[in-house]
Amino acid sequence: MAVDSASDPAIPSEPVDVTIVAHDIGPVGGMERQLTHLITGLQRRGHDVTVIGRVCELPPGSGVRFHRVPGPGRPFLIAYPWFLLAGSIAVARRRRGVVQATGAIVLNQVDAIAVHYCQQVGGATSSRRTRLAGLYIRLVAILNRLGERLCYELSRRAVFVCVSEGVAEEMRHYYPRARERVLAIQNGVDVDAFAPGTRVQEAAALRERLGIAGQDLVAAFVGSEWERKGLEQAIAALAQAPGWTLLVAGSGDRERYERLAASLGVQESIRWLGVARDVPLVLAVADALVFPSTYEAFPLVALEAAAAGLPILATPVNGVRELVQDGRSGMLIERDPGSIAAALRRLGEDSQLRRSIGQAAREASLDYSWDRMVERHHELYQRLAGESDAGRRKGLRRR
């Protein structure tokens, strides 16, 4: 949906005011990092950016106007409706120019909604297997779906900006009345920060601290929501793929997965990093990414691993289908320990295959730069600002 602002007098040629509404913005989490780069990229292009949210951790000197929405971050059943109301009030009072909400999080009429997850498809998961946890997750899923339908119905004129073609198709299916207002702007990645060979000495030092021998191969698993993303299957695969160490970065029910690893006799082949703020360094240590998720919109870590020149072993979820050409720039796997282990063994036995797939993944990532992603948002916001100005002028003439 490219726009030529120079040829259309209704589209402003100058930067416009933009308001981004989100729960959290910062260096941890795929969506949070994506928003950070979008906001700083818009600011560099001269846009005056306002952020309305609960948490906003941007680089010093970003020049962004931040309005904090006070409130709890958890539990979700309290935090979500709280922000839905408090955030809506903040948007009504603080909005400037084009307004983009990050998902179904406010009740206001906005200009654009960034869709990082279709709740009608994805749902919620938990690694805690108790009746109470199961009930809680079902309630979370119900609230997510109801909130999504309510917010999307209230924003009848909004453009839905999906992070992958797969999510765009899901939106057209579940919200057919909005299908003409659905478009895809894929996630971006900092291809320079993740470039292969940029953190060699630091990666070697980290391997030494973690007790990983130089000849050992490392499979990275990055992300939280371990149940959905398939950590159980990745751990089980280690029992069938000797010579591989699994590096786990993220948060979850670690005790449960440690018990699983011990029962399989692979506890010595796992390194637990916790929440990682330096994802480029984590991937610089690795020889492959393992990502057997059940549902994704467009996993940023897959893009980052591709930019780092790593073979991607992933289930064919949204985004992965667009990024990975099976057997060339990665391997599409089943959510099954045997399938994961077979791919790991194949890579472990053939160093040339690892290099060729990693190089192809790096080449594929170059089509998803942050600059390209920011430029497409820049064009969209200019078009939306032009439509808003034209609508106001039309209303004045009617008066």
What is the CB neighbour count within 10 angstroms for residue 307? Answer: 26
Residue 228 has pLDDT above 80, yes or no: yes
Q: What is the mean pLDDT of residues 85-99?
A: 97
The pLDDT tens digits of the residues spanning 267-316 come to 999 999 999 889 999 999 999 999 999 999 999 999 999 999 999 999 99
What's the mean pLDDT in 99-109?
97
What pLDDT is stored for residue 257 in this prediction? 97
CA gap 248, 150 in Å, rounded = 37
Q: Looking at residues 335-351, what average pLDDT do you find?
A: 97
- As a whole number, the mean pLDDT across the chain is 91
Query: What is the C-alpha end-to-end distance of the chain, expressed in Å?
Result: 33
pLDDT digits (tens, 9 = 90+) for 22-72: 999 998 888 898 899 999 999 999 999 999 999 999 988 888 999 999 999
Q: What is the sign, positive or negative, of the torsion defined by CA atoms of 117, 119, 121, 126?
A: positive
Enter the pTM of the model: 0.84
All residues at 6 or more sequence positions from 336 whose CB lies less than 8 Å from its CB, including other chains: 233, 292
Question: How high is the pLDDT of residue 58?
Answer: 92
SS3 string, the chain, reads: CCCCCCCCCCCCCCCCEEEEEEEEECCCCHHHHHHHHHHHHHHHCCCEEEEEEEEECCCCCCCCEEEECCCCCCCHHHHHHHHHHHHHHHHHHHCCCEEEEECCCCCCCCCEEEECCCCCCCCCCCCCCCHHHHHHHHHHHHHHHHHHHHHHHHCCCCEEEECCHHHHHHHHHHCHHHHHHEEECCCCECCCCCCCCCCHHHHHHHHHHCCCCCCCEEEEEECCCHHHHCHHHHHHHHCCCCCEEEEEECCCCHHHHHHHHHHHCCHHHEEEEECCCCHHHHHHHCCEEEECCCCCCCCHHHHHHHHCCCCEEECCCCCHHHHCCECCCEEECCCCHHHHHHHHHHHHHCHHHHHHHHHHHHHHHHHHEHHHHHHHHHHHHHHHHHHHHHHHHHHHHHC
> Three-state SS for 182?
strand
pLDDT reading at 261 higher than 60: yes
**Total residue length of the chain:** 399
Q: What is the dihedral of CA 299, 305, 311, 313, to 10 degrees?
A: -30
**Span 137-196, pLDDT tens digits:** 899 999 999 999 999 999 989 999 999 999 999 999 999 999 999 999 998 999 999 999
pLDDT tens readout for residues 186-205 = 989 999 999 999 999 999 99
Could you tell me if 94 and 53 are in contact, meaning their C-beta atoms sit under 8 angstroms apart? no
**pLDDT exceeds cutoff 80 at 317:** yes
- Domain 200-367 in the same topology as domain 17-188+369-398: yes
Angle (CA) 80-274-259 rounded to 5° is 100
Q: d(Cα 70, Cα 41) in Å, to the nearest integer?
A: 26
- Of 27-31, 111-115, 238-242, 351-355, minimum mean pLDDT range: 27-31
The residue extents of the domains of the chain are 17-188+369-398, 200-367
- Assigned CATH class of 200-367: alpha beta
How high is the pLDDT of residue 1?
43
| Per-residue confidence (pLDDT) for residue 393, from 0 to 100 | 37
Of the candidate CATH numbers 3.40.50.300, 3.90.1300.10, 3.40.640.10, 3.40.50.2000, the domain formed by 17-188+369-398 belongs to 3.40.50.2000
**What's residue 93's pLDDT?**
97
Q: Using DSSP bridges, classify how beta strands 17-25 and 48-56 pair: parallel, antiparallel or unpaired.
A: parallel
Tokens representing 252?
Answer: 């979850």
Q: Rounded to the nearest 5°, which phi and psi values hold at 291? A: -150, 75
Which neighbouring-strand residues pair with 289?
Answer: 220, 312
Average of per-residue pLDDT across 121-128: 62
User: Cβ–Cβ contacts within 10 Å for residue 173, how many?
Assistant: 12
